[in-house]
Protein backbone atom coordinates (compact mmCIF):
# COMPACT_ATOMS: atom_id res chain seq x y z
CA UNK A 1 0.00 0.00 0.00
CA UNK A 2 2.83 2.40 0.85
CA UNK A 3 4.48 1.66 -2.48
CA UNK A 4 1.27 2.51 -4.34
CA UNK A 5 0.91 5.75 -2.38
CA UNK A 6 4.51 6.64 -3.18
CA UNK A 7 4.11 5.93 -6.88
CA UNK A 8 0.85 7.90 -7.03
CA UNK A 9 2.42 10.84 -5.20
CA UNK A 10 5.49 10.86 -7.45
CA UNK A 11 3.32 10.77 -10.59
CA UNK A 12 1.18 13.67 -9.35
CA UNK A 13 4.17 15.82 -8.40
CA UNK A 14 6.11 15.13 -11.61
CA UNK A 15 3.08 15.78 -13.85
CA UNK A 16 2.40 19.03 -12.02
CA UNK A 17 6.01 20.15 -12.47
CA UNK A 18 5.62 19.36 -16.17
CA UNK A 19 2.43 21.44 -16.33
CA UNK A 20 4.06 24.41 -14.59
CA UNK A 21 7.12 24.31 -16.84
CA UNK A 22 5.07 23.99 -20.02
CA UNK A 23 2.70 26.79 -19.03
CA UNK A 24 5.07 29.33 -17.49
CA UNK A 25 8.65 28.59 -18.51
CA UNK A 26 8.94 26.89 -21.92
CA UNK A 27 8.73 29.68 -24.59
CA UNK A 28 6.81 27.71 -27.20
CA UNK A 29 3.26 26.48 -27.83
CA UNK A 30 2.91 23.71 -25.23
CA UNK A 31 -0.60 23.45 -23.82
CA UNK A 32 -0.76 21.45 -20.58
CA UNK A 33 -3.69 19.18 -19.87
CA UNK A 34 -4.00 20.57 -16.34
CA UNK A 35 -4.23 24.15 -17.60
CA UNK A 36 -6.83 23.16 -20.19
CA UNK A 37 -8.88 21.39 -17.51
CA UNK A 38 -8.83 24.44 -15.22
CA UNK A 39 -9.81 26.75 -18.07
CA UNK A 40 -12.75 24.54 -19.03
CA UNK A 41 -13.79 24.26 -15.39
CA UNK A 42 -13.96 28.05 -15.15
CA UNK A 43 -15.37 28.63 -18.63
CA UNK A 44 -18.42 26.40 -18.26
CA UNK A 45 -20.32 28.31 -15.53
CA UNK A 46 -19.50 31.69 -17.10
CA UNK A 47 -20.74 30.46 -20.48
CA UNK A 48 -23.92 28.96 -19.00
CA UNK A 49 -24.83 32.35 -17.56
CA UNK A 50 -23.87 34.23 -20.75
CA UNK A 51 -25.98 31.91 -22.90
CA UNK A 52 -29.08 33.03 -21.02
CA UNK A 53 -28.53 36.74 -21.58
CA UNK A 54 -30.18 38.50 -24.53
CA UNK A 55 -27.65 41.19 -25.53
CA UNK A 56 -24.02 41.14 -26.59
CA UNK A 57 -23.17 43.78 -23.96
CA UNK A 58 -24.61 41.66 -21.14
CA UNK A 59 -22.73 38.61 -22.38
CA UNK A 60 -19.51 40.60 -22.49
CA UNK A 61 -19.95 41.82 -18.90
CA UNK A 62 -20.35 38.24 -17.68
CA UNK A 63 -17.47 36.79 -19.72
CA UNK A 64 -15.00 39.66 -19.12
CA UNK A 65 -13.50 38.28 -15.85
CA UNK A 66 -13.38 34.69 -17.10
CA UNK A 67 -9.76 34.78 -18.31
CA UNK A 68 -8.41 36.35 -15.12
CA UNK A 69 -10.38 33.92 -12.95
CA UNK A 70 -8.97 31.01 -14.96
CA UNK A 71 -5.41 32.22 -14.24
CA UNK A 72 -6.12 32.37 -10.49
CA UNK A 73 -7.89 29.01 -10.44
CA UNK A 74 -4.97 27.40 -12.26
CA UNK A 75 -2.53 28.70 -9.63
CA UNK A 76 -4.76 27.47 -6.80
CA UNK A 77 -5.18 24.15 -8.59
CA UNK A 78 -1.42 23.70 -8.93
CA UNK A 79 -0.81 24.42 -5.24
CA UNK A 80 -3.68 22.23 -4.02
CA UNK A 81 -2.58 19.36 -6.26
CA UNK A 82 1.04 19.69 -5.12
CA UNK A 83 -0.19 19.48 -1.53
CA UNK A 84 -2.03 16.25 -2.31
CA UNK A 85 0.96 14.81 -4.19
CA UNK A 86 3.40 15.56 -1.39
CA UNK A 87 0.91 14.23 1.17
CA UNK A 88 0.85 10.90 -0.70
CA UNK A 89 4.65 10.79 -0.67
CA UNK A 90 4.79 11.58 3.04
CA UNK A 91 2.17 8.98 3.87
CA UNK A 92 4.24 6.46 1.89
CA UNK A 93 7.46 7.03 3.88
CA UNK A 94 5.89 7.42 7.33
CA UNK A 95 3.02 6.21 9.45
CA UNK A 96 1.08 9.43 9.01
CA UNK A 97 -2.61 9.16 8.24
CA UNK A 98 -4.28 11.06 5.40
CA UNK A 99 -5.17 14.07 7.55
CA UNK A 100 -1.76 14.30 9.18
CA UNK A 101 0.01 13.90 5.82
CA UNK A 102 -2.03 16.73 4.30
CA UNK A 103 -1.22 18.96 7.27
CA UNK A 104 2.46 18.10 6.98
CA UNK A 105 2.62 18.78 3.23
CA UNK A 106 0.54 21.95 3.48
CA UNK A 107 2.72 23.31 6.29
CA UNK A 108 5.83 22.74 4.18
CA UNK A 109 4.41 23.80 0.80
CA UNK A 110 3.21 27.16 2.09
CA UNK A 111 6.31 27.51 4.35
CA UNK A 112 4.13 27.84 7.47
CA UNK A 113 6.36 25.53 9.50
CA UNK A 114 3.81 24.63 12.18
CA UNK A 115 4.15 20.88 11.49
CA UNK A 116 7.37 18.92 11.18
CA UNK A 117 8.33 15.26 11.14
CA UNK A 118 11.39 13.72 12.74
CA UNK A 119 12.28 11.23 10.00
CA UNK A 120 15.05 11.98 7.53
CA UNK A 121 12.93 10.79 4.59
CA UNK A 122 9.99 12.89 5.74
CA UNK A 123 12.18 15.96 6.17
CA UNK A 124 13.54 15.55 2.64
CA UNK A 125 10.00 15.64 1.23
CA UNK A 126 9.20 18.64 3.47
CA UNK A 127 12.22 20.50 2.08
CA UNK A 128 11.15 19.72 -1.49
CA UNK A 129 7.60 20.89 -0.79
CA UNK A 130 8.91 24.07 0.87
CA UNK A 131 10.90 24.87 -2.28
CA UNK A 132 7.98 24.09 -4.59
CA UNK A 133 5.52 26.61 -3.11
CA UNK A 134 7.60 29.78 -3.58
CA UNK A 135 8.82 28.61 -6.99
CA UNK A 136 5.30 28.09 -8.34
CA UNK A 137 4.03 31.38 -6.89
CA UNK A 138 7.14 33.25 -8.08
CA UNK A 139 6.80 31.88 -11.61
CA UNK A 140 3.14 32.88 -11.68
CA UNK A 141 3.97 36.41 -10.50
CA UNK A 142 6.63 36.70 -13.20
CA UNK A 143 4.22 35.27 -15.76
CA UNK A 144 1.59 37.98 -15.24
CA UNK A 145 3.64 40.94 -16.60
CA UNK A 146 4.42 38.98 -19.77
CA UNK A 147 0.75 38.02 -20.10
CA UNK A 148 -0.60 41.53 -19.67
CA UNK A 149 2.18 43.05 -21.77
CA UNK A 150 1.11 40.86 -24.70
CA UNK A 151 -2.53 41.78 -24.01
CA UNK A 152 -1.79 45.53 -24.08
CA UNK A 153 0.18 45.29 -27.33
CA UNK A 154 -2.70 43.41 -28.91
CA UNK A 155 -5.32 45.90 -27.78
CA UNK A 156 -3.37 49.01 -28.82
CA UNK A 157 -3.68 48.17 -32.53
CA UNK A 158 -7.32 47.09 -32.09
CA UNK A 159 -8.11 50.47 -30.52
CA UNK A 160 -6.36 52.33 -33.34
CA UNK A 161 -8.53 50.49 -35.83
CA UNK A 162 -11.71 51.90 -34.26
CA UNK A 163 -11.23 55.33 -35.86
CA UNK A 164 -10.47 53.69 -39.22
CA UNK A 165 -13.24 51.10 -39.34
CA UNK A 166 -15.84 51.95 -36.74
CA UNK A 167 -16.75 49.73 -33.84
CA UNK A 168 -17.13 46.84 -34.27
CA UNK A 169 -14.86 46.92 -37.33
CA UNK A 170 -15.97 45.63 -40.74
CA UNK A 171 -13.85 44.99 -43.83
CA UNK A 172 -15.88 47.10 -46.31
CA UNK A 173 -16.05 49.91 -43.76
CA UNK A 174 -12.24 50.12 -43.65
CA UNK A 175 -12.00 50.66 -47.42
CA UNK A 176 -15.03 52.99 -47.41
CA UNK A 177 -13.57 55.28 -44.76
CA UNK A 178 -10.12 55.34 -46.30
CA UNK A 179 -11.74 56.33 -49.60
CA UNK A 180 -13.92 58.93 -47.85
CA UNK A 181 -10.93 60.82 -46.45
CA UNK A 182 -8.64 60.25 -49.42
CA UNK A 183 -6.16 57.95 -47.66
CA UNK A 184 -6.22 54.94 -49.96
CA UNK A 185 -2.47 55.29 -50.47
CA UNK A 186 -2.05 54.67 -46.72
CA UNK A 187 -3.65 51.23 -46.89
CA UNK A 188 -0.22 49.72 -47.50
CA UNK A 189 0.92 50.91 -44.06
CA UNK A 190 -2.23 49.52 -42.43
CA UNK A 191 -1.70 46.07 -43.93
CA UNK A 192 2.00 46.12 -43.05
CA UNK A 193 1.18 46.90 -39.41
CA UNK A 194 -1.40 44.12 -39.23
CA UNK A 195 0.98 41.61 -40.75
CA UNK A 196 3.32 42.26 -37.81
CA UNK A 197 0.38 42.28 -35.39
CA UNK A 198 -0.73 38.85 -36.63
CA UNK A 199 2.75 37.45 -36.11
CA UNK A 200 2.92 38.84 -32.57
CA UNK A 201 -0.52 37.50 -31.67
CA UNK A 202 0.32 34.11 -33.14
CA UNK A 203 3.45 33.92 -30.97
CA UNK A 204 1.97 35.28 -27.73
CA UNK A 205 -1.44 33.57 -27.87
CA UNK A 206 -0.01 30.13 -28.58
CA UNK A 207 2.55 30.55 -25.79
CA UNK A 208 -0.14 31.88 -23.42
CA UNK A 209 -3.42 30.38 -24.73
CA UNK A 210 -5.53 31.99 -22.01
CA UNK A 211 -5.04 35.30 -23.89
CA UNK A 212 -7.44 34.00 -26.54
CA UNK A 213 -10.21 34.37 -23.94
CA UNK A 214 -9.10 37.76 -22.58
CA UNK A 215 -11.69 40.22 -23.84
CA UNK A 216 -11.15 43.79 -25.01
CA UNK A 217 -11.86 46.64 -22.55
CA UNK A 218 -14.99 47.66 -24.50
CA UNK A 219 -17.90 45.37 -25.34
CA UNK A 220 -18.02 46.57 -28.96
CA UNK A 221 -14.33 45.83 -29.59
CA UNK A 222 -12.74 42.43 -30.14
CA UNK A 223 -9.30 41.42 -31.34
CA UNK A 224 -10.58 38.56 -33.51
CA UNK A 225 -13.22 40.70 -35.23
CA UNK A 226 -10.55 43.35 -35.84
CA UNK A 227 -8.30 40.79 -37.51
CA UNK A 228 -11.19 39.42 -39.57
CA UNK A 229 -12.13 42.93 -40.76
CA UNK A 230 -8.55 43.69 -41.86
CA UNK A 231 -8.35 40.37 -43.71
CA UNK A 232 -11.68 41.06 -45.43
CA UNK A 233 -10.46 44.52 -46.39
CA UNK A 234 -7.32 42.96 -47.85
CA UNK A 235 -9.34 40.39 -49.80
CA UNK A 236 -11.64 43.14 -51.13
CA UNK A 237 -8.64 45.25 -52.08
CA UNK A 238 -7.15 42.38 -54.10
CA UNK A 239 -10.50 41.55 -55.68
CA UNK A 240 -11.47 45.09 -56.73
CA UNK A 241 -8.09 46.78 -57.28
CA UNK A 242 -5.78 44.38 -59.15
CA UNK A 243 -3.65 47.22 -60.52
CA UNK A 244 -2.70 48.51 -57.06
CA UNK A 245 0.38 47.28 -55.13
CA UNK A 246 -0.39 43.81 -53.78
CA UNK A 247 2.69 42.58 -51.91
CA UNK A 248 1.80 44.02 -48.47
CA UNK A 249 -1.87 43.12 -48.93
CA UNK A 250 -1.10 39.50 -49.73
CA UNK A 251 1.38 39.22 -46.85
CA UNK A 252 -1.15 40.65 -44.39
CA UNK A 253 -3.72 38.12 -45.58
CA UNK A 254 -1.33 35.23 -45.30
CA UNK A 255 -0.09 36.30 -41.86
CA UNK A 256 -3.71 36.57 -40.75
CA UNK A 257 -4.83 33.11 -41.72
CA UNK A 258 -1.57 31.56 -40.50
CA UNK A 259 -2.29 33.22 -37.14
CA UNK A 260 -5.81 31.77 -37.11
CA UNK A 261 -4.49 28.31 -37.93
CA UNK A 262 -1.92 28.49 -35.13
CA UNK A 263 -4.66 29.47 -32.67
CA UNK A 264 -6.94 26.70 -33.94
CA UNK A 265 -4.22 24.12 -33.35
CA UNK A 266 -3.59 25.27 -29.78
CA UNK A 267 -7.37 25.27 -29.13
CA UNK A 268 -7.89 21.87 -30.74
CA UNK A 269 -10.16 23.22 -33.50
CA UNK A 270 -10.09 21.13 -36.70
CA UNK A 271 -9.76 22.90 -40.06
CA UNK A 272 -9.19 22.21 -43.74
CA UNK A 273 -5.50 22.75 -44.46
CA UNK A 274 -5.99 23.03 -48.22
CA UNK A 275 -9.42 24.51 -49.03
CA UNK A 276 -10.39 24.79 -52.69
CA UNK A 277 -10.92 28.34 -54.04
CA UNK A 278 -14.29 27.31 -55.46
CA UNK A 279 -15.64 25.98 -52.15
CA UNK A 280 -18.82 27.65 -50.94
CA UNK A 281 -18.63 30.49 -48.43
CA UNK A 282 -20.98 30.97 -45.51
CA UNK A 283 -21.02 34.65 -46.41
CA UNK A 284 -23.77 35.06 -48.99
CA UNK A 285 -23.43 36.97 -52.23
CA UNK A 286 -26.21 39.31 -51.03
CA UNK A 287 -24.21 40.23 -47.92
CA UNK A 288 -21.17 40.74 -50.14
CA UNK A 289 -23.15 43.17 -52.29
CA UNK A 290 -24.22 45.14 -49.22
CA UNK A 291 -20.58 45.58 -48.30
CA UNK A 292 -19.71 46.61 -51.85
CA UNK A 293 -22.52 49.16 -51.82
CA UNK A 294 -21.08 50.70 -48.65
CA UNK A 295 -17.71 51.05 -50.39
CA UNK A 296 -19.32 52.56 -53.49
CA UNK A 297 -21.23 55.13 -51.39
CA UNK A 298 -17.96 56.54 -50.09
CA UNK A 299 -16.29 56.64 -53.51
CA UNK A 300 -14.02 53.61 -53.36
CA UNK A 301 -12.63 53.13 -56.92
CA UNK A 302 -13.50 49.71 -58.33
CA UNK A 303 -11.70 48.24 -61.32
CA UNK A 304 -14.01 45.21 -61.44
CA UNK A 305 -17.73 44.76 -61.17
CA UNK A 306 -19.07 42.88 -58.11
CA UNK A 307 -19.76 39.86 -60.36
CA UNK A 308 -16.14 39.84 -61.53
CA UNK A 309 -14.70 40.46 -58.06
CA UNK A 310 -16.79 37.86 -56.19
CA UNK A 311 -14.79 34.77 -57.34
CA UNK A 312 -11.53 36.53 -56.44
CA UNK A 313 -12.83 37.55 -53.01
CA UNK A 314 -14.25 34.08 -52.37
CA UNK A 315 -10.94 32.47 -53.29
CA UNK A 316 -9.18 34.49 -50.59
CA UNK A 317 -11.85 34.29 -47.90
CA UNK A 318 -12.19 30.51 -48.07
CA UNK A 319 -8.74 30.31 -46.41
CA UNK A 320 -9.88 31.88 -43.16
CA UNK A 321 -13.67 32.18 -42.98
CA UNK A 322 -14.49 28.87 -41.26
CA UNK A 323 -11.74 29.30 -38.66
CA UNK A 324 -12.67 32.91 -37.90
CA UNK A 325 -16.35 31.99 -37.52
CA UNK A 326 -15.59 29.06 -35.21
CA UNK A 327 -13.24 31.07 -32.97
CA UNK A 328 -15.67 34.01 -32.89
CA UNK A 329 -18.39 31.62 -31.75
CA UNK A 330 -16.18 30.00 -29.11
CA UNK A 331 -15.11 33.28 -27.50
CA UNK A 332 -18.49 35.02 -27.99
CA UNK A 333 -16.95 37.87 -29.98
CA UNK A 334 -19.06 40.96 -30.62
CA UNK A 335 -21.58 40.05 -33.40
CA UNK A 336 -20.17 42.20 -36.19
CA UNK A 337 -21.19 41.93 -39.86
CA UNK A 338 -19.52 39.12 -41.82
CA UNK A 339 -18.44 37.32 -38.61
CA UNK A 340 -20.82 34.35 -38.52
CA UNK A 341 -23.32 33.12 -35.94
CA UNK A 342 -22.88 32.92 -32.18
CA UNK A 343 -23.89 30.23 -29.69
CA UNK A 344 -27.28 31.90 -29.24
CA UNK A 345 -29.06 34.21 -31.72
CA UNK A 346 -28.05 37.84 -31.16
CA UNK A 347 -28.50 40.97 -33.24
CA UNK A 348 -25.59 41.97 -35.52
CA UNK A 349 -24.04 45.32 -34.64
CA UNK A 350 -23.23 47.76 -37.44
CA UNK A 351 -19.98 49.77 -37.21
CA UNK A 352 -20.29 53.04 -35.33
CA UNK A 353 -17.91 55.87 -34.49
CA UNK A 354 -18.31 58.65 -31.91
CA UNK A 355 -19.57 61.89 -33.46
CA UNK A 356 -16.80 64.41 -34.06
CA UNK A 357 -18.04 67.62 -32.39
CA UNK A 358 -16.44 70.70 -34.01
CA UNK A 359 -16.58 74.15 -32.44
CA UNK A 360 -18.89 76.57 -34.18
CA UNK A 361 -17.25 79.42 -36.09
| Same domain, yes or no: 208 and 136 | no
174 assigned to some structural domain: yes
Q: What pLDDT is stored for residue 355 in this prediction?
A: 45
Distance CA 246, CA 234 (A): 9
Q: What pLDDT is stored for residue 117 in this prediction?
A: 58
Looking at 112, 141, 170, which one is the last position of a domain? 141
342 assigned to some structural domain: no
146 assigned to some structural domain: no
**Which among 41, 56, 29 is positioned nearest to 216, based on CA atoms?**
56
Q: Under 8 Å CB-to-CB from 291, ≥6 apart: which residues?
A: 170, 171, 172, 232, 236, 337, 338
| Same domain, yes or no: 62 and 157 | no
Please check the confidence at residue 115 and state whether its pLDDT lies above 70. Answer: no
CA atoms within a 13 Å half-sphere pointing along the CA-CB vector of 163: 7
Q: What pLDDT is stored for residue 175 in this prediction?
A: 95
Question: Phi then psi for 244, rounded to 5 degrees?
Answer: -85, 160
Looking at 91, 111, 141, which one is the last position of a domain? 141
Q: What pLDDT is stored for residue 111 in this prediction?
A: 73
Please check the confidence at residue 359 and state whether its pLDDT lies above 80. Answer: no
State the average pLDDT over residues 345-351: 78
348 assigned to some structural domain: no
256 assigned to some structural domain: yes
| Same domain, yes or no: 235 and 87 | no
194 assigned to some structural domain: yes
| Same domain, yes or no: 320 and 298 | yes
- Kindly list the distances between the CA atom of residue 39 and the CA atoms of 28, 68, 71, 322, in Å, as whole numbers in the listed order: 19, 10, 8, 24
Distance CA 255, CA 199 (A): 7
pTM score: 0.86
How sure is the predictor about 237, in pLDDT bands with cuts at 50, 70 and 90? very high
Q: How many domains does the chain have?
A: 2
pLDDT digits (tens, 9 = 90+) for 133-143: 888 888 888 88
Looking at 141, 171, 188, which one is the last position of a domain? 141
| Same domain, yes or no: 111 and 136 | yes
Distance CA 349, CA 336 (A): 5
**Which among 337, 307, 305 is positioned nearest to 324, based on CA atoms?**
337
Distance CA 101, CA 21 (A): 26
Taking the mean position of all CA atoms in its chain, how far away is CA 251? 22
Distance CA 105, CA 122 (A): 10
| Same domain, yes or no: 61 and 176 | no
163 assigned to some structural domain: yes
Domain that includes residue 273, residue range: 151-330
Contact 213, 271 (CB under 8 A): no
| Same domain, yes or no: 7 and 126 | yes
| Same domain, yes or no: 182 and 322 | yes
| Same domain, yes or no: 201 and 326 | yes
- Kindly list the distances between the CA atom of residue 199 and the CA atoms of 46, 257, 264, 358, in Å, as whole numbers in the listed order: 30, 10, 15, 38
**DSSP calls for 101-165:** HHHHHHHHHTT--S----SHHHHHHHHHHHHHHHHHHHHHHHHHHHHHHHHHHHHHHHHHHHHHH
| Same domain, yes or no: 215 and 73 | no
33 assigned to some structural domain: yes
| Same domain, yes or no: 313 and 164 | yes
Q: What pLDDT is stored for residue 330 in this prediction?
A: 92
Q: What pLDDT is stored for residue 119 in this prediction?
A: 61
State the average pLDDT over residues 214-228: 92
| Same domain, yes or no: 135 and 60 | yes
Amino acid sequence: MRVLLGVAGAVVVLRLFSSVLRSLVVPRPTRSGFGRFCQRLVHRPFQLVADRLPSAEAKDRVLAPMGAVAVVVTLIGWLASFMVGYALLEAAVSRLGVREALIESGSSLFTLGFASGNRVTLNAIDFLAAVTGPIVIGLQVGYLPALYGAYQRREAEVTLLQARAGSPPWGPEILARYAQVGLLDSLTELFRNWERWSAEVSESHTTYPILIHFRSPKAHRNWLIALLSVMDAAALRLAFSPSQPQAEVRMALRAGFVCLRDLAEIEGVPYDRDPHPDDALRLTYEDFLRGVERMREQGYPMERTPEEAWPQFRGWRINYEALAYRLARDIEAVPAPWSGARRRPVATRAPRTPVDRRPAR
